[in-house]
Amino acid sequence: METLGIWIGALCTLAIFSYLLRENPFFRTAEHLFIGMAAGIGIFYGYQSIVTNAWNPLFNPGDEPRQWFMIVPLVLGVLLYTRFLKKGKWISRIPLGFMVGVGSALAIRGVIGASFMNQITATMSLPLWGVMSKFGIDSLLFILGVLGTLIYFYFSREQKGPLKVGASIGKWVMMIAFGASFGNTVMARMSLLVGRIYYLLGEWLAIL
């Protein structure tokens, strides 16, 4: 079974790589297998989540008191599966909308805290003396980059004079940040490629 799994993984990997030539039936087959397995795993873990977090506390509490309020997420979770009904699939939009709303609220709260307030606090608390050099040049550059980026998005006045200089600094800082982010993305994709090539040459062909 282990050998069969290695062969299936290798053939699916080659089928995905065949897209580099052109789209073909082998790639579409591997793509559909991946999407189908991902959907199946998602349904399974969703069912397990309903049983563990809602059904058991409500109907099989053990030594703990019954948590009757769990009937709300239980009903919402079950309604998600109405997506597979022809005439009642619209019902699944109710729990889906609830999930989107709660998820959006949590995401906005996290973004404001992590990407806004925490960065302002970290920038204002930077020491300007004795960080990496005698005069804390790295901290000064960091503060200059933050101020320049904020000035770049300051549209209440025409950007000329000092504002134009600050906006130019902010533009270059953002370009450097975007380039670094893109470089990290490329490195992550390259690591995935190296991993698949090592799988083909090592575990499948046993060359490495």
pLDDT digits (tens, 9 = 90+) for 33-76: 999 999 999 989 988 887 888 888 888 777 778 888 888 888 88
Beta carbons of 142 and 126 less than 8 angstroms apart: yes
Q: Comparing 208 with 10, which gets the higher pLDDT?
A: 10
Report domain extents, the chain. 130-208
DSSP 133: S
- Per-residue confidence (pLDDT) for residue 130, from 0 to 100: 55
Dihedral angle, C-alpha 94, 95, 96, 102, nearest 10 °: 110
- Per-residue confidence (pLDDT) for residue 133, from 0 to 100: 52
- Per-residue confidence (pLDDT) for residue 208, from 0 to 100: 79
Report, as an integer, the average pLDDT of 93-114: 88
pLDDT digits (tens, 9 = 90+) for 155-189: 888 888 889 999 999 999 999 999 999 999 999 99
Q: Is the pTM of this model over 0.95?
A: no
Locate 106 and state its tokens.
Answer: 């949590």
Beta carbons of 15 and 34 less than 8 angstroms apart: no
pLDDT digits (tens, 9 = 90+) for 114-162: 777 887 787 777 666 555 555 567 778 888 888 898 899 888 888 888 8
- What does the alpha-carbon distance between residue 100 and residue 188 come to, in Å, rounded to a whole number? 29
The mean predicted confidence, pLDDT, of the chain is 86
- What does the alpha-carbon distance between residue 92 and residue 83 come to, in Å, rounded to a whole number? 5
- Per-residue confidence (pLDDT) for residue 47, from 0 to 100: 84
Report the percent of the chain where pLDDT is more than 90.
Answer: 45
